[in-house]
Amino acid sequence: MNRASWRMALAFGALLFLAGMADPAIARAESRGDVNFIIGAKSLDRNDWNPVEDQGEFGAEVTWGGSRWPIAFATDLVASSHGADLLGITINGQTSELAFGLRKIWEAGAARPYIGGGVAKIAAQIEKPGVTEDDTVLGGRRGAGIFWRLGSRFNIGLAGRLSRGKLTLFGTAIEAGGTHAGLILGWGWPAEK
């Protein structure tokens, strides 16, 4: 596992720890929020990332704020990777995004459609035999989705996102953002009756 992957894993663990620790405190403060895990895929520009442009992705979207706020804060963390052979050469590509912004979630019965956007720190790395190159950039992201509250806390749904940010790998400026799509599995607070 490379440096970028370790940093992402540590940040992701810290995010989950804080979300778990915050739940009782947030509920007491009359706040509302959701921690939704995303399992899906990220598609990058084929001209920049061939043959690793289609990557599996895992991450979390955390939405938090006051129970009466019309718009909430969003803290998201996603990581994607894929390895492939090109003419007998193994190439590994990976990206990660740590995003901060705002998210609006509407409540329509059990359905929760949402939109949001903000800034994202995007890191990318490409590994070829004997050489690895990585870079980071501050970019932007926007997203939308829908999830349903099942029972008092459990969330299930679909998420989509578009991110953008150009960085430099192997002396070439490439797009490290892409199109994201995935399934949502998560929980929300406070518990619904």
Report the pLDDT averaged over residues 29-49. Answer: 93
Question: With bands split at pLDDT 50, 70 and 90, how would you rate the model's confidence at 4?
Answer: low
**What average pLDDT does the chain have?**
89
Looking at residue 1, its pLDDT comes to 45
Q: Is the pLDDT of residue 37 over 50?
A: yes
Report the pLDDT averaged over residues 84-98. Answer: 93
- Tokens 């903000």: give the residue: 118
Q: Is the pLDDT of residue 157 over 90?
A: yes
| Measured distance CA(18)–CA(189) in Å, rounded | 14
Report the pLDDT averaged over residues 46-51. Answer: 94
Find out whether 97 and 76 touch, Cβ atoms under 8 Å: yes
Q: Where are the domains of the chain?
A: 3-186
Report the pLDDT averaged over residues 34-52. Answer: 96
pTM: 0.82
CATH topology of domain 3-186: Porin (2.40.160)
Q: Is 112 exposed, middle or buried (0-12, 13-18, 19+ CB in 10 A)?
A: buried
Burial per residue of 72-87, b for 16 or more beta-carbon CB atoms within 10 angstroms, e otherwise: bbbbbbbbbbbeeeee
| Measured distance CA(35)–CA(126) in Å, rounded | 30
- Tokens 């690895």: give the residue: 132
Mean pLDDT is lowest, of 26-30, 61-65, 94-98, 181-185, for 26-30
Q: Is the pLDDT of residue 120 over 60?
A: yes
Looking at residue 179, its pLDDT comes to 97
